[in-house]
A and B are shown apart, each in its own frame.
Chain A
Amino acid sequence: MSVLVVRSVSKSFGSVPVLSNIDLDIDEGEIVSLLGPSGCGKSTLLRIIAGLEFADAGAVEIGARDVSRLPPGARNIAMVFQSLALYPHLTGRENIALPLRVRRMSRLQRILSPLRLSASVRTIEREIDDAVDDLAARLAIGEVIDRVPARLSGGQRQRVAIGRALVRDSRLLLLDEPLSSLDAKVRVQARDEIVQIQRSFGVSCVFVTHDQGEALAISDRVAVMLGGGIAQFGTPAEIYRNPASLDVARFVGSPTINCLEGIVDAQGRVHTGGFLFDTRLAEPVGRPVTVAVRPEHVRIGPAREQPGHMLRVVRVEDHGHDGLVHLALGDGGALSLVARSAQAVALRAGDEVPVSIAPEEALYFSPAGMPLGPEPVRIADYARG
């Protein structure tokens, strides 16, 4: 069942269009990332879902209810902000308790609650305290819950912010680059925690990020946003292996996918400067094609079936478990490739190495950037043919 449906939402600031015709559908218990470069409109979309901005056109439905015109407080959603937006003068406990107090007490009760006048307020206060303690224990911040944000570590602050979001049992949790304030090492740990927390609470999440590694690592599905529209919406595997356009292929994956310009021949094979991709594209002869190859698919050393092409090593980045090899053809750099290889360590700049690319591991795009369907050609088939 859909928790969130975004229907043809458009938004512009003045005369600048920011979002055009966005459709999105998020299922119960799913983590969906909105992934895109800065300025792609992902944060605006999140703010429209939250009700902090209103769309010019289109609708937002949460739990099958049209909330397009409701104020943020009435949408039953929770949000973790980029800066976390913890109330600086309230303790962790008070931060988490505040949304509950708003829901459970009248305005007058909230103002007078420190006085503990009536029995009912005392009961509510006790229940809220229990709920916060319970949540704090599950988030492993029970020890530090009575500190103000300034006296918490980055990770603890993040958990308090998530606690404040989760405490009200919202069906939808919005996260606006919540990891961007953490340093690299804590970041990976924190993102795993978010997934764990999300799984154990079973809440649906929309997660905005510009970090494609982060998006692929934590999401059930990723919406890649480019230029104010959703370029592709699919599982991380689909996005990575079958990108819907050359732009998506380029944006996702690190280091960036290698691109080679080529021409289709009579058999549907693609000739690039130096490489022949023995595939069968259903394209007319002479048509230009962009061949995109992930670095891990650029093989160093002769493949069994192919002799490999001799390229010169320009630079080696040793990452420990493997490495990146920057390669070039000839001196002018008519062709340059990046390969991810476990043998990187053994290479030196200036070495000449044979390089091969399996045609079925490459992606083919039209000049307009649309994917061209290669008939899957197995190496075995090719050897036979």
Chain B
Amino acid sequence: MTARGSRFAGLGRHLVLGAGAVLMLLPLLWAVRISFLPAEDVFSPQFHLLPSRWIGFENYARALTASPLPRFLLNGVGVCLAIIVCQLLVAIPCAYVLAKARVRGQWLLWLAVLVGLVIPPAALALPLFIMAAQAGLIDTYAGLILPWTISPLGIFLLRQAFSRVPDEIIEAARLDGLGEWEILVRLLVPAVAPAIGALITISLVAHWNDLLWPSVVVTSASKATPPFGVMLFQVQEIGSDYGPLLAGAIMIAAPLLALFILTQRRFLDGMAWLGSK
């Protein structure tokens, strides 16, 4: 292969990839464009790529004030935070025992984790809804959070990570006089930090973006999470006002996108975990 040939090949690659990149970003870019359009431009028969007049963040302001969007976002943050904290508190000790201890009946627990791993969460929406209804958890934060406090995937990931920590480190810590909990918190948790990062990433994406469960268990706008908020938008008057609607949609997707762009390497490594299991 000549240098010239490889340079052309490289150029071609970048052309193809660049076109693909534009396609991938197109919906987002289009949404951004519309979110800055004044109302009269949206349906104007004359096509303008750029807004005919600069309205600044007016549509964003309208989305935030004319709808409970701030409430949705706040709910989303709170619910995701609570879910992730619970998942970690439950999964870390469990994964440690599964990886490092010899306890009777351990295989049974492991089996339950594996079952949980292959059951798609969406499939359990119906029975969980029945249970939530019985427990009086419909339209409560508890109803949004409690069903997801256990993460079989998290236990699985962390168990794999704990298994890779050498036993000698744990034995050294026992000789140093550390208790089991202290070994776990001080030595092992930092050692499996990448796996914990992966779990947080995967969980955050899954639950911030989850539409099905909130639409099942939440009935009032005051408890809605962002994706369910989108569903509510459409039936409200703002739904026909495209500028603010897309400004709202962008603000709902923005937190995760920002996090992703800021921490892309770790974020993608975390996601690649899903494949390496």
Q: Do chains A and B touch in the complex (CB under 8 A)?
A: yes
Please give the residue numbers on chain A whose beta carbons come within 8 Å of chain B beta carbons, in ascending order: 50-52, 71-74, 77-79, 81-83, 85-89, 98-99, 102-103, 107, 110, 164
Given contacts A83-B166, A85-B166, A88-B191, contact A73 B171 (CB under 8 A): no
Q: How far is A309 from B172 in the complex, measured between Cα atoms in Å? A: 57
Residues of the A chain whose Cβ atoms lie less than 8 Å from the Cβ of B168: 81-83, 85
User: Is B182's CB under 8 angstroms from A110's CB?
Assistant: yes
Given contacts A88-B191, A89-B190, A89-B191, contact A81 B178 (CB under 8 A): no
Which residue from chain B places its CB closest to the CB of A75 in the assembled complex? Answer: B175
Other than the given A86-B169, A98-B178, 16 more pairs (CB < 8 A) read A51-B174, A51-B175, A72-B174, A74-B177, A79-B175, A82-B168, A85-B171, A85-B172, A88-B169, A98-B173, A99-B176, A102-B176, A102-B178, A107-B182, A110-B182, A164-B172
Q: How far is A110 from B166 in the complex, measured between Cα atoms in Å? A: 24
Residues of the B chain whose Cβ atoms lie less than 8 Å from the Cβ of A79: 171-172, 175
Given contacts A87-B187, A89-B190, contact A50 B166 (CB under 8 A): no
Which residue from chain A places its CB closest to the CB of B185 in the assembled complex? Answer: A111
Residues of the A chain whose Cβ atoms lie less than 8 Å from the Cβ of B120: none
The minimal Cβ–Cβ distance linking A172 to chain B, given in whole angstroms, is 11
The minimal Cβ–Cβ distance linking B152 to chain A, given in whole angstroms, is 27
* B5 touches A (CB below 8 Å): no
Residues of chain B in range 147-186 having any CB-CB distance to chain A below 8 Å? 166, 168-169, 171-179, 182
Q: How far is A160 from B199 in the complex, measured between Cα atoms in Å? A: 33
Q: How far is A275 from B168 in the complex, measured between Cα atoms in Å? A: 52
Which residue from chain A places its CB closest to the CB of B176 in the assembled complex? Answer: A99
User: Is A73's CB under 8 angstroms from B187's CB?
Assistant: no
* The 4 nearest A-B residue pairs measured at CB: A73-B177, A85-B168, A85-B172, A99-B176
Residues of the B chain whose Cβ atoms lie less than 8 Å from the Cβ of A82: 168
The minimal Cβ–Cβ distance linking A376 to chain B, given in whole angstroms, is 48
Residues of the B chain whose Cβ atoms lie less than 8 Å from the Cβ of A85: 166, 168-169, 171-172
Which residue from chain A places its CB closest to the CB of B171 in the assembled complex? Answer: A52
- Tell me the dominant secondary structure on chain A's binding face: mixed
Which residue from chain A places its CB closest to the CB of B165 in the assembled complex? Answer: A88
The minimal Cβ–Cβ distance linking A162 to chain B, given in whole angstroms, is 12
Q: How far is A51 from B177 in the complex, measured between Cα atoms in Å? A: 12
From B175, B190, B191, A78 is in contact (CB under 8 Å) with B175
User: Is B176's CB under 8 angstroms from A81's CB?
Assistant: no
Q: How far is A86 from B175 in the complex, measured between Cα atoms in Å? A: 13
Residues of the A chain whose Cβ atoms lie less than 8 Å from the Cβ of B171: 50, 52, 72, 79, 81, 85
The minimal Cβ–Cβ distance linking B269 to chain A, given in whole angstroms, is 18
User: Is A72's CB under 8 angstroms from B175's CB?
Assistant: yes
CB-defined interface of B19-46 with A at 8 Å, one 1/0 digit per residue?
Answer: 0000000000000000000000000000
Residues of the A chain whose Cβ atoms lie less than 8 Å from the Cβ of B190: 89
**Residue among B171, B177, B187, B191 with max Cβ neighbours from chain A (10 Å):** B177
Q: How far is A316 from B255 in the complex, measured between Cα atoms in Å? A: 75
Which residue from chain A places its CB closest to the CB of B179 in the assembled complex? Answer: A107
Which residue from chain B places its CB closest to the CB of A176 in the assembled complex? Answer: B168
Q: How far is A51 from B175 in the complex, measured between Cα atoms in Å? A: 8
The minimal Cβ–Cβ distance linking A13 to chain B, given in whole angstroms, is 13
Q: How far is A52 from B174 in the complex, measured between Cα atoms in Å? A: 8
The minimal Cβ–Cβ distance linking B109 to chain A, given in whole angstroms, is 24
Residues of the A chain whose Cβ atoms lie less than 8 Å from the Cβ of B179: 107
Q: How far is A86 from B176 in the complex, measured between Cα atoms in Å? A: 12
Q: How far is A46 from B122 in the complex, measured between Cα atoms in Å? A: 53
Q: How far is A52 from B177 in the complex, measured between Cα atoms in Å? A: 12
Residues of the A chain whose Cβ atoms lie less than 8 Å from the Cβ of B182: 107, 110
Residues of the A chain whose Cβ atoms lie less than 8 Å from the Cβ of B177: 73-74, 99, 102-103
The minimal Cβ–Cβ distance linking B190 to chain A, given in whole angstroms, is 4
The minimal Cβ–Cβ distance linking A330 to chain B, given in whole angstroms, is 53
Q: How far is A73 from B176 in the complex, measured between Cα atoms in Å? A: 6
Q: How far is A71 from B174 in the complex, measured between Cα atoms in Å? A: 8
Q: How far is A88 from B176 in the complex, measured between Cα atoms in Å? A: 15
Q: How far is A316 from B158 in the complex, measured between Cα atoms in Å? A: 57
Residues of the B chain whose Cβ atoms lie less than 8 Å from the Cβ of A52: 171, 174-175
Residues of the B chain whose Cβ atoms lie less than 8 Å from the Cβ of A77: 175
Q: How far is A72 from B178 in the complex, measured between Cα atoms in Å? A: 10
Q: How far is A311 from B166 in the complex, measured between Cα atoms in Å? A: 53
Which residue from chain B places its CB closest to the CB of A80 in the assembled complex? Answer: B172
Residues of the A chain whose Cβ atoms lie less than 8 Å from the Cβ of B169: 85-88
Given contacts A82-B168, A83-B166, A85-B169, contact A73 B191 (CB under 8 A): no
Q: How far is A321 from B169 in the complex, measured between Cα atoms in Å? A: 43
Q: How far is A342 from B163 in the complex, measured between Cα atoms in Å? A: 53
Residues of the B chain whose Cβ atoms lie less than 8 Å from the Cβ of A74: 177
The minimal Cβ–Cβ distance linking B154 to chain A, given in whole angstroms, is 21
User: Is B178's CB under 8 angstroms from A73's CB?
Assistant: yes
12 A-B pairs with C-beta separation under 8 A: A50-B175, A51-B174, A51-B175, A52-B174, A52-B175, A72-B171, A72-B174, A81-B171, A85-B169, A102-B176, A102-B177, A110-B182
Residues of the A chain whose Cβ atoms lie less than 8 Å from the Cβ of B193: 89
Which residue from chain A places its CB closest to the CB of B177 in the assembled complex? Answer: A73
CB-defined interface of B87-113 with A at 8 Å, one 1/0 digit per residue?
Answer: 000000000000000000000000000
Q: How far is A81 from B176 in the complex, measured between Cα atoms in Å? A: 13
The minimal Cβ–Cβ distance linking B68 to chain A, given in whole angstroms, is 39
Residues of the A chain whose Cβ atoms lie less than 8 Å from the Cβ of B178: 73, 98, 102
Residues of the B chain whose Cβ atoms lie less than 8 Å from the Cβ of A98: 173, 176, 178
Q: How far is A102 from B187 in the complex, measured between Cα atoms in Å? A: 13
